[in-house]
Amino acid sequence: MDRPTHTFDLMQLEMLALNWLQMLVCLSSGVMVGFSAMADPLLGSSDRDESAEPLVLIAEHPDSMDQYHPNAEVVGQMFQSLLLATTGESTVSEAWAHFILPDDRVGFKILSEPGRLSGTRPAVVEAVISSLLSTGFPPEKVVIWDRRLGSLMATGYQDLAQKLRVKLAGAQDAGYDDSVFHEAPLVGSLVFGDHEFGKDGEGVGRRSFVSNLVTQELTRLIVIHPMLNHYLGGVHGNLVGLVAASVDNFHRFLIGGTQYYQAVPEIFAMEALYDKLAFVLCDGLICQYQGEDRGFLQYSNLMHRLMIGVDPVAMDVLSFGELSRLRHSADLPVDEKIRLLYENAQLLELGMADSQKIRSQYIQLPSILKNNGSRTLQAPSSAP
């Protein structure tokens, strides 16, 4: 899949400068306001540009969840239907060939720290990997990974890895690549596990190194993240999730919003990350709109939904719109300045940040599922 070259022209630089000025104004005022442009319900308003190419496909089924526990059979069929629909192919093997080559080593980036219920659900990961393995792809070339191996094991992914005969890995546990890094003037307070921890000298603490797992082992990346709120990034999705897990010395960006909204897209745009991205999948079976890395089912809605796309920014924008809607309904604040993260990502040609130019489409599910056969799913109501 061809990827754009991430270079700036004068107009882009001017727009970035304007964005950063806006961020400073938001930060200095300390105002928390409603999110307007991207707080629409998932399918947006009637003035959406319907001529735009569909970027995100959605499958939804009421039997996908049973009391907060996924129905593996239904989830598997939902993903397979999405895979075929997004490629236009009639067989799973032909569909996967759009994204994966025989020699690839495929890393499935998931979110494990919030736990089995609020993080990426193992049933969704199993559905995707089982689909790939059904094509004859070797399981030894498949890796389920997150930032720390310990959190993966604590969430039960070790059992899934053994069942599928695939590898489990932590980016931090694999160490960091000396030659691949993002450099910024902000100096971080290095902690144990950071590549330069314990070192002295000029420039120490200004680099965030990319994990050896990403630079040396994996050739393709598939991000599977839940619809989960993130207080700085809006949604703990593709941009925030992949970046925070892939590099060290990341905490330095958490203390200042301007650096955060600049650094996350810049790191995501690195060749070691963005150029390896195959597609992204949103585990929207449950939408948790409060709690971030902690599982709070009392702040969750059953959505019964999976979403697939090749545009990571568009996917995050749609997820953030749904999260914002639920937060408004619960009288929780939504931070207006978060939109600058997505706008900066669009300036770097990582995807579409304008919700009015993102078209989403519900797909028809096959008749083997329950509820009287196949049906075209309707957009959800605006009530949480």
Report the mean per-residue pLDDT for the chain: 84
Does the residue 211 lie in any domain?
Answer: yes
Q: Report yes or no: 66 and 123 within 8 Å, Cβ to Cβ.
A: no
Residue 380: per-residue pLDDT: 34
Residue 296: per-residue pLDDT: 87
Mean pLDDT, rounded, for 180-201: 87
Neighbours of 139 (CB within 10 A): 13
Mean pLDDT, rounded, for 206-222: 97
Does the residue 203 lie in any domain?
Answer: yes
pLDDT: is 42 or 274 the higher one? 274
Does the residue 376 lie in any domain?
Answer: no
Does the residue 372 lie in any domain?
Answer: no
Does the residue 10 lie in any domain?
Answer: no
Categorize the per-residue pLDDT at 368 as very low, low, confident or very high, splitting at 50, 70 and 90: low
Residue 292: per-residue pLDDT: 86
Residue 196: CATH number of its domain: 3.40.50
Residue 256 has pLDDT above 70, yes or no: no
Dihedral sign from CA coordinates of 189, 195, 198, 204: negative
Instruction: Give how many domains the chain has, as a whole number.
Output: 1
Per-residue pLDDT tens digits for 77-97: 999 999 999 999 999 999 999
Does the residue 206 lie in any domain?
Answer: yes
Residue 1 has pLDDT above 70, yes or no: no
Residue 361: per-residue pLDDT: 93
Determine the 3-state secondary structure of 360 from DSSP.
Answer: strand
Residue 381 has pLDDT above 60, yes or no: no
DSSP 115-163: -TTTS--HHHHHHHHHHHHTTT--GGGEEEEES-HHHHHHTTHHHHHHH
Does the residue 25 lie in any domain?
Answer: no
Categorize the per-residue pLDDT at 191 as very low, low, confident or very high, splitting at 50, 70 and 90: confident
Which domain does 303 fall in, by range?
A: 53-362
Q: Per the confidence metrics, is the pTM higher than 0.75?
A: yes
Contacts of 192 (CB under 8 A, 6+ apart): none
Residue 37 has pLDDT above 70, yes or no: no
Does the residue 322 lie in any domain?
Answer: yes
* Cα 50 from Cα 38, distance rounded (Å): 17
